[in-house]
Chain A
C-alpha cells in the first residue's frame, strides 16, 4: 500500500511539474525580415462581439478577404477574455484575439500570452503617433506593446435640457462647484422629505460613476512609475473624495441610497436619466446609441465632464477600450499581423468599425474623418477621445485590480466617512499588498 501511495505521489508531482512547465512555453518565431509580398492561408480571429456587432466584424473581415483573396479568416464570435485565456493556456493556436477591455493587457503582455508586436511595427514602419497618447498607454505594459487598440469608450456628461431650462440653468456645469450647485438646484423633494428628482447622483457606485470615469475631473493617476499606488500621495484624489463625501452628506446618504434603490436598470429603458429622475449623469458614448434606440425623444445634450477648478483639464475624458493581439501559439504570425494591422491601423476600417459598433475609433485620423458619423451629442466623446489631456488607467498583471479595490473602499467611505488621509493611506497598503499576488 505504501508503495502505491509513493508511486501516486511521484506520478502526481510529475504531472504537475510537466503541466506547470508546459504552460510557460510558447512560440515566438516566424517574423520575416520584410513584409511578405503575397499572403495566403487561413487565420483565426477570436472576438467577443455578438449579434449585430458580430455582423459588423463579418463585414470588415469580408473586406479584408477581398483585399487578400488568398486569405481565409475563421471567425470565432462571442469569445470572452476567460475563454481566450484558457485557449492560450491550453496551447491552442489563436492567431488574432480581440478583448473587450484593456484590463487583461498587463497579464497578456507580461506573460507572453500575446506576442510582442514591436518587431512587426518597426519593420512595417507603422505610425503609432496616429493613436492618441492615452490609448497608446493602455495597450502596452511597461513598454512592451503586445496589443493594439481597436475601438474605445470615452466618457462625458449627459444632461437633460428641459430640466435645465425649467431650473433656469443656461449652460452645462464646467467645474465641480457648478456641478454641485446645478445638481442641488435640480433636486426636488417629496412632502415626506424623500427625493423625487435628483440633479446629480454623487454616489460613487451609481451607474457609470466610478473611479475610472471620475479620473478626468482631477486629471488623476492611480499608480506611480514603480507600479505602487499613487492615491494616498495625491492631494487631487483626496480633494475629490472630500468633495464627493461633502456632497453626499449635504443631501444625506440614507436619502440618496433610498432614492437610488428605486431606480431602474442602467442598461434598460428604465435608466433614471431616460426617465428624467436624474438630470445630470456621467456616462459613455455608448449611451447615445441606447437613447436613440430606447428613448428617442429624450431632450438632452452632452458636454465634457466637469472638473475640479485648477486641477482637472476641462475637455478631457476617460478612455479605455477593446484591445487586439496575436496569440503566442499562432502558426501564421504574418497573416495574423496583416489582419491585426488592417483592423487597428487602417483609417477607413476604423471609421467603418466606429460607425457600425457605435464606439470611438482609436486613430486620430479616423476621429477627424468626415466619414465618421458624428451627431452633435456624440461629438463630445469624439473630441474628448482626441484631447491631449484625456486619461486612462494603466494595465497591471492583476487586471487593474486597484480599480475595484479603490471603488469598493470609496463606496464604503461615502457612507461611513472618516479621516481621508488615513483612508487613502490604508488604500495604498491594500493595493500594494494585493499587487504581489499576481504574476509571475
Chain B
C-alpha cells in the first residue's frame, strides 16, 4: 500500500473545498457574475429584450454624458440622499441608541416603540407620511398653524420634498438603532472607567472610547446605508405619485416620477424608466454599469473615512 503523495493530498483538499464552495460559487456566478458581465455587454448595444442586441459602441455612454436631460438631476438627487439621508439616519440612530443604552426603566418598551416603524412596509409608511404632511388636509401643517407657523408644501415643494423623505428615513431608523444599541452595550465598561481615571470627559470618551470600539458597526451601517441610498427608489417613487394626486394600483411608471419638479427623480428611477417604460435596455445597462462603479468608489471612500476611528488609527 502506497501513501498518497503530498500533491495528491493537496489536490484532494482543493477538491473538497471547491465542492463545498460550489453552491455559493454557482449562485455568485449565476446571479451576480452573469448579470454583471451581461450588463457591461448590453451597455454597448441598442437592446429592447425582444430582438438581438445591436452593437452601438459608446452611443449610450455618449448620450448619458452629453444629451440625457435628466441624468445629472437624478445623479445630484441621489448624491443628496447619500450625503444627507445616510448621515442623518446614522447620527439619529446612534444618539437614540445612546439614550436607550442608558435607560433604566421600561427598557423593552422603549426599544420596541422605536423599532416598530422599521416594521412598517415602505409603501405604507410613505403613503402615511405624504398624507400626514399634506399641506391642505394633513395634521402637521394644521398643528404648525396653531403655533403661528405657516407650514411648507413638504412633498409638493421641490425644496422640501427631499428633506421630507429624510424625516421619513429618520422615523424608520429602528433597524440601524438596534444594531448600534447592541454595539454600544458591547463596549467594555473598563475602558470608560480607565478613561475616567485618566480625566476624560464625556465628549472625549465618545471620541476616544465609544466610536473606535463600535467603528466596525459604524462602517457596516455607513456601507449598507450608502448602497441603499444609491439605489433609492421605492420611497421617492411612491412619494411622487401620492403627492401629485395620481396614486393608482399598478399604475406603472409615468410622468409623475420625480414629482415635484424632478426633485425626487433618483438615478434608479431614471434607469427603470429607460429600461422598462422606454424599452432602452442598452442605455439602462450603461446606467447600471456607471452606478456599479460609482457605488464601488463611494464605498472605498466611506470605508476610508470610517477607518479613521479605528483604534490603530487613533493614537
Chain B 241-266 interface 0/1 with A at a Cβ cutoff of 8 Å (1 = within)? 01111111010101110111110000
Cβ–Cβ contact A85 & B255, under 8 A: no
B28 at the interface (CB under 8 A from A): no
Across the interface, B46 reaches (CB within 8 A) one of A16, A81, A261, A440, namely A440
Cβ–Cβ contact A16 & B41, under 8 A: yes
* Given known A16-B38, A411-B261, A412-B261, contact A205–B50 (CB-CB < 8 A): no
Residues of A within 8 A of B24 (CB): none
Cβ–Cβ contact B279 & A398, under 8 A: yes
B301 at the interface (CB under 8 A from A): no
* Given known A398-B278, A405-B69, A437-B280, contact A88–B246 (CB-CB < 8 A): no
A257 at the interface (CB under 8 A from B): yes
Cβ–Cβ contact B136 & A437, under 8 A: no
The interface on chain A, measured as residues whose beta carbon lies within 8 A of the other chain's beta carbons, has a size of: 61
Residues of A within 8 A of B225 (CB): none
Residues of B within 8 A of A103 (CB): 277
Residues of B within 8 A of A88 (CB): 50
A107 at the interface (CB under 8 A from B): yes
A191 to B70, CA, bound (A): 40
Interface residues of B in 250-303 (CB under 8 A from A): 250, 252, 254-256, 258-262, 273-274, 276-280, 282-283
B60 at the interface (CB under 8 A from A): yes
A205 to B63, CA, bound (A): 27
User: Which size class do B's interface residues fall under?
Assistant: 35 or more
Across the interface, B137 reaches (CB within 8 A) one of A24, A85, A206, A262, namely A262
Cβ–Cβ contact B277 & A399, under 8 A: yes
Which residue in chain B gives the minimum CB-CB distance to A212? B255
Residues of B within 8 A of A24 (CB): 51-52
Spot the interface stretch: A28-36, A108-116, A132-140, A333-341.
Answer: A108-116
Residues of A within 8 A of B282 (CB): 437
Cβ–Cβ contact B134 & A261, under 8 A: yes
Cβ–Cβ contact B246 & A437, under 8 A: no
Cβ–Cβ contact A404 & B153, under 8 A: no
Cβ–Cβ contact A89 & B250, under 8 A: no
Cβ–Cβ contact A266 & B278, under 8 A: no
Cβ–Cβ contact B254 & A404, under 8 A: yes
Cβ–Cβ contact B63 & A433, under 8 A: yes
A425 at the interface (CB under 8 A from B): no
Residues of A within 8 A of B87 (CB): none
B213 at the interface (CB under 8 A from A): no
If A261-B134, A264-B137, A437-B283 are given as contacts, then 9 extra A-B residue pairs at C-beta distance below 8 Å, sorted by A number, are A12-B33, A19-B38, A23-B53, A257-B153, A260-B156, A261-B135, A408-B70, A415-B261, A440-B46
A residues bordering B, Cβ < 8 Å?
Answer: 12, 15-16, 19-21, 23-24, 80-82, 85-86, 88-89, 103-104, 107-108, 111-113, 205-207, 210, 257-268, 272, 397-399, 401, 403-405, 407-409, 411-412, 415, 429-430, 433-434, 436-440
B residues bordering A, Cβ < 8 Å?
Answer: 33-34, 37-38, 41, 46-54, 59-60, 63, 67-70, 134-137, 153, 156-157, 242-248, 250, 252, 254-256, 258-262, 273-274, 276-280, 282-283
CB<8 Å pairs between A and B, sample of 17: A24-B51, A89-B50, A111-B48, A112-B51, A257-B156, A257-B157, A259-B136, A261-B153, A267-B247, A403-B255, A404-B254, A412-B261, A430-B67, A434-B67, A436-B46, A436-B63, A438-B48
